[in-house]
Amino acid sequence: MDQPVVVVTNKPYPETIAFLEPHCRVIANDGVEPWSDEQRLAHLRQATAMMAFMPDSVDDALLAACPGLKMISCALKGYDNFDLDACARRGVVVAFVPDLLTIPTAELAVGLTIGLARNVRAGDDYVRHAGFAGWRAQLYGKGLDGRLVGLVGAGAVGRATAERLAGYGCRLRYFDAMALSEAEERRLRVERTSLNDLLADSDFVIVCLPLNPDTLHAIDAGAIAAMKPGAHLINISRGSVVDEKAVADAIESGHLAGYAADVFELEDWAIEERPRAIDPRLLAPGAPTLFTPHLGSADARVRMDIEHQAAEHILQFLRGEKPTGALDLPAP
């Protein structure tokens, strides 16, 4: 009997392929650039299962063209680029690995906050390119000690970020539709408040929201206008939760002191009207911005663990078991 085919759409660790190969035929991308749509489709037409990554999106048209594809194992946390209704209608199992990404994402949130507020990018450029000859009275920034940090969203990433910020001497508030328990608030040393009060009072606003129709552009021009003048905004959730044009406008006007992000609107493939590029004003030399190319999960040990768990989900499916990370989709 022919072995089932598993397609790994982005470059995996060799250990991931070795783990899968005794049980299936593996077709894996061996480069750092994603396949073109045509390449990916050609491979997926042969596939029983797919290991998906951040650049991937799955819609009904792709599933219709790949009738043998019955399982998608996502080596990522969010699933806003996947049409879950279409997967449910076609009986496609979808699994994720959410827990492994929380801590590295929270760590990066703290790193971006400090890096933005303390002018790390501008300082690095000065040392490398401006004839640095020792300390000068410049590039003064803003520390965390005694500052008010507002977390928009108190899910797993929001709570992990609060936990890591607690040791910096800052005051922490959060907004979430669902309140944390009193015991959890005490443990994290956070206080719940309204979104309006959080925006108006916080020196730093860190966005920790999933992307869905309710959170699309949750931080828009109106929300940014409500923020404390001179505040810093940090986004480590999904790009389209924040309106990047509104951010650029606010930085240009001086209302925002800076913006840091690990995520960008152009990455949210499922949103047809998304920008195809980052607003050039945010990338301009001297702009008070700090960006990383979606490094929230780019911890080598964690990445290997994520791929291993995603591969285990595939093998569970191939054995006829329900993958431990499978979403409970409605029956087709």
Q: Tell me the per-residue pLDDT of 153-185, one tens digit each, with 9 for 90 and over.
A: 999 999 999 999 999 999 999 999 999 999 999
Pair 238, 268: CB distance under 8 Å: yes
Distance CA 88, CA 16 (A): 27
The pLDDT profile of the chain, 332 residues, written as one tens digit per residue, is 589 999 999 999 999 999 999 999 999 999 999 999 999 999 999 999 999 998 899 999 999 999 999 999 999 877 778 999 999 999 999 999 878 889 999 999 999 999 999 999 999 999 999 889 999 999 999 999 999 999 999 999 999 999 999 999 999 999 999 999 999 999 999 999 999 999 999 999 999 999 999 999 999 999 999 999 999 999 999 999 999 999 999 999 999 999 999 999 999 988 989 999 999 999 999 999 999 999 998 999 999 999 999 999 999 999 999 999 999 988 76
Provide the pLDDT for residue 80: 76
Does residue 188 form part of some domain? yes
Distances (CA, A) of 288 to 116, 204, 260: 7, 14, 9
Distance CA 24, CA 314 (A): 10
Q: Say which amino acid occupies 253.
A: S
313 and 282 inside one domain: no
- Which pLDDT belongs to residue 59? 94
Residues 76 and 106 in one domain: no
Q: Domain range for residue 53? A: 5-97+300-318
DSSP reduced 3-state for 206: strand
Q: What is the pLDDT of residue 171?
A: 98
Does any domain span residue 323?
Answer: no
Indicate the angle between helix axes 102-117 and 156-165, nearest 10 degrees. Answer: 50
| CA dihedral of residues 249, 251, 254, 259 (deg, nearest 10) | 150
Query: Which residues are 49's β-sheet partners?
Result: 6, 71
The catalytically annotated residue of 252, 267, 274, 281 is 267
- Asked whether residue 174 falls in the same domain as residue 78, the answer is no
Q: What pLDDT shows up at residue 332?
A: 66
75, 216: one domain: no
| pTM assigned to the model | 0.90
Whether residue 330 is contained in a domain is answered as no
**Does one domain contain both 21 and 74?**
yes
Clarify whether residues 272 and 152 are in a common domain.
yes
Q: Is 294 a catalytic residue?
A: yes
Say which of 173, 238, 303, 308 is annotated catalytic: 238
Same domain? For 165 and 115 the reply is yes
pLDDT at site 250: 98
Residues 251, 110 share a domain: yes
Cβ atoms within 10 Å, residue 13: 15
Indicate if 106 and 137 belong to the same structural domain. yes
Q: What is the C-alpha to C-alpha distance for residues 85 and 73, in angstroms, rounded to an integer?
A: 16
Is 301 considered catalytic here? no
Residue 328 lies in a domain: no
Residue with tokens 């702009």: 287
To which H or E segment does residue 144 belong? Answer: none
What sign does the CA torsion over 265, 267, 270, 276 have? positive
Backbone angles phi, psi at 60, to 5 degrees: -65, -35
Q: Which CATH number goes with the domain that contains 14?
A: 3.40.50.720
Q: Cβ–Cβ contacts within 10 Å for residue 91, how many?
A: 12
Given the residues 294, 303, 308, 313, the one annotated as active site = 294
CA atoms within 13 A on the CB side of 193: 19
Domain count, the chain: 2
> Any catalytic annotation for residue 38?
no
Q: Return d(Cα 198, Cα 150) in angstroms, integer.
A: 6
